[in-house]
Amino acid sequence: MVSLAQIREVPLRKMVLLVGPPGVGKSAFCEQVVLQNLAIDRPIIYVATEYCPSDAEMALKKRGLREVEPGLLNFVDAYNQTVGVSVRDRLDTVRADCSNLSSIDIAISKLSERIGRKGVLLVFDSLTSPYMFSGSEILRFITQTLSSYAAKGNAVLACVDEGCSKSEDLVTMMSLSNGVIRMEIVEDKRFLKVVKHPTLRPTVVEVPSEPERIGLFEYSAMRFDPASMRQFAKSHLGGEPMRREVGDFVNLFWPNFAHWSCMLWDPKGFPRMIYELNRQEGSLIADPELQQYFPWYMRLLLRFLLPKDLSEVKNMKKLVTQYAGEASNERSGIMEYLEDASKTDEHYVRLYESSDCWGFDNIGATIASRFPPEMAGSCKGCEKEEREWNAVETKCIGLGDPYCEFKLVPGEIDELKGSLEKDASVVERIHERLMQRLIAFLLERKPLVERPRLGSDVHIHVAFHAMGFPHLAGERYRMAQRMGGARAGKEVGERLMDAGIGEDEALNRVINFLQHCKVGKVSMDETIRIRENVEILRTKLFATKIKEPCCYFTTGFLNGLFSAVRNQHVKEAKCAVAGDPYCEWEFR
């Protein structure tokens, strides 16, 4: 019978591909393989594309790693430079750019020469991010770099996320590998399935269940800032804005651009996670700590006027009427309760000109990510009984409908999971449509987005939801924001260069685009500065114990842009979250 230890052995002169959905435990498997090989003094080259080498080293130490002989554990850092994070140099690390496969190849070669012998184990975690930047070019990289390195007397273990690439490209990756191990979860149990292997027969082995090294939910990060929360409540109700220089409305293109650039990294998992986070936030409607920041009449409404049982149509109508006013104030949509279509414990809400969905007509999927789960959470928060409510879109602009509709019910909805999970090709189509509109704006000043009645701008609260929950969702989500920004910025820069736009003109046009979107008050000279950057306002409101640079998407975007246009990188030197008067990026 094949043991788990045998599966973790990667034969010399062979490349083994580890396949599985995000969060299934592939990084944990790699760490166990590294420890098993370090125990026999086998040199390691550890390529990290989605986290820092220091994070990998910390995870290894938690698993029992002790001091190792110098030169035995080596890293290729293909993450920090890609997303614009500045870190100290390490003697055991060579840096590379995840968006440039040649730079990773060169880094591996440098470490291989430094080690000076064969029999090295190369662990590549993971191929997903370079694939997002380079597409099918990764297939040539597997052949010319990874398989070639293995053939020289070494061993290669590489990971790739299932569901984040074209199915035909994943099949080709598997065919190019000498071994394929699939990780999967079935009924809350984890299994390793040996699909093919140089020395093992096909088999399935159950592995001990453990959480992924990088968690998804970090609610302990939530800490309200009283002054900011009161200011936000006033702004939300049409009073004095939080952003005094640029106002509290932003072009809805920018938060949607960030949202879908991030979604590329996990089309199935992230929509489910965002659904749960929005549902959780919706339930805070009944939180006394949050309510204390609202004006007195809002507290009165929430405490005494909203129904405590939402089963009946007349009661749900009151809640939807409240939400309709909020949607109107925020310009996030025109909402109405479908009284005739609704019945006890089954309610229907229609939304015209939804800020989530507008511009994605006929994309082939439901799109709305905010109001359905948020209202489901509010139903739970309002009711005395606290039933688990859920919501699912039944009509959507993304499906070709003229408006969006969703159903609210207490309990489970069978079709919900399938509607949340997106196929990678759908997310790519959305990303491409956004990119085409952005380039048309940059080259021809065509509108980014237009809605007949609500216009192009939305309140910053809408941007909060679209740009995510970075300090509640966890490190993997922050990685996706950084990487999503880096890919988007690089692609914009490359398309402007291909259109014959000069370097300085390309950068000026992008800076003007950021100003047009009211991302903040943007200026560029020796540095780039953004005052009142919309991205960090949620952190300032809800995660006040965080005191470090938090412009994850913006930094990635600028870094990708400058790497494509000027072959430069940027780093965030100042951030308003860290106490600085503005966010600032330096070139290097």
Tell which residue, 182, 49, 56, 60, has the closest CA to residue 126.
Answer: 49
Which residues are paired to 587 by β-bridges? 570
Token pair of 315 as six digits:
């009661």
* pLDDT tier at 53, thresholds 50, 70, 90: very high
Residue 543 has pLDDT above 80, yes or no: no
**Residue 434 to residue 326: CA distance in whole angstroms:** 27
Bridging pattern class, strands 155-161 and 14-20: parallel
- Does domain 4-207 fall into CATH 3.40.50.300? yes
**Residue 285 to residue 303: CA distance in whole angstroms:** 10
247-284 pLDDT, tens digit each: 999 999 999 999 999 999 999 989 998 999 899 888 87
- Going by the DSSP 8-state scheme, the letter that residue 246 receives in this structure is T
Tell which residue, 494, 468, 491, has the closest CA to residue 551.
Answer: 468
**Residue 363 to residue 399: CA distance in whole angstroms:** 6
Over residues 93-111, the mean pLDDT reads 97
Domain 216-244+258-265+424-588 belongs to what architecture? 2-Layer Sandwich (3.30)
59-73 pLDDT, tens digit each: 999 999 988 899 999
* pLDDT tier at 289, thresholds 50, 70, 90: low
* pLDDT tier at 113, thresholds 50, 70, 90: very high
Residue 456 has pLDDT above 50, yes or no: yes
- Higher local confidence (pLDDT), 239 or 176: 176
Q: What is the pLDDT of residue 533?
A: 96
- Higher local confidence (pLDDT), 304 or 449: 449
10-46 pLDDT, tens digit each: 999 999 999 999 989 999 999 999 999 999 999 999 9
Q: What is the pLDDT of residue 301?
A: 64
Question: What are the extents of the domains in the chain?
Answer: 4-207, 216-244+258-265+424-588, 268-422
- Going by the DSSP 8-state scheme, the letter that residue 79 receives in this structure is S
Query: 571, 586 in Cβ contact below 8 A?
Result: yes
Q: What is the pLDDT of residue 117?
A: 93
Over residues 434-439, the mean pLDDT reads 98
Over residues 202-211, the mean pLDDT reads 79
Q: What is the pLDDT of residue 3?
A: 85
* pLDDT tier at 230, thresholds 50, 70, 90: confident
* pLDDT tier at 302, thresholds 50, 70, 90: low
**Residue 391 to residue 376: CA distance in whole angstroms:** 6
**Residue 107 to residue 98: CA distance in whole angstroms:** 11
pTM over 0.85: yes
372-405 pLDDT, tens digit each: 999 999 999 888 888 999 999 999 999 999 999 9
Q: Looking at beta carbons, which pairs linking 575-578 to residues 24 or more positions away fall under 8 Å? A: 575/536, 575/548, 575/549, 575/550, 575/551, 576/532, 576/533, 576/536, 576/540, 577/536, 577/539, 577/540, 577/546, 577/547, 577/548, 577/549, 577/550, 578/547, 578/548, 578/549, 578/550
Tell which residue, 67, 58, 56, has the closest CA to residue 26.
Answer: 56
Over residues 311-324, the mean pLDDT reads 93
Q: Which of 89-98, 136-145, 171-180, 220-229 has the lowest mean pLDDT?
A: 220-229
| DSSP secondary structure of 464-502 | HHHT--HHHH-HHHHHHHHHHHHHHHHHHHHHHHHTT--
| DSSP secondary structure of 29-49 | HHHHHHHHHHTTT--EEEEES
* pLDDT tier at 217, thresholds 50, 70, 90: very low
Query: 528, 551 in Cβ contact below 8 A?
Result: no
* pLDDT tier at 219, thresholds 50, 70, 90: very low
Task: Name the average pLDDT for the chain.
Answer: 91
Assign domain 268-422 to a CATH class. alpha beta
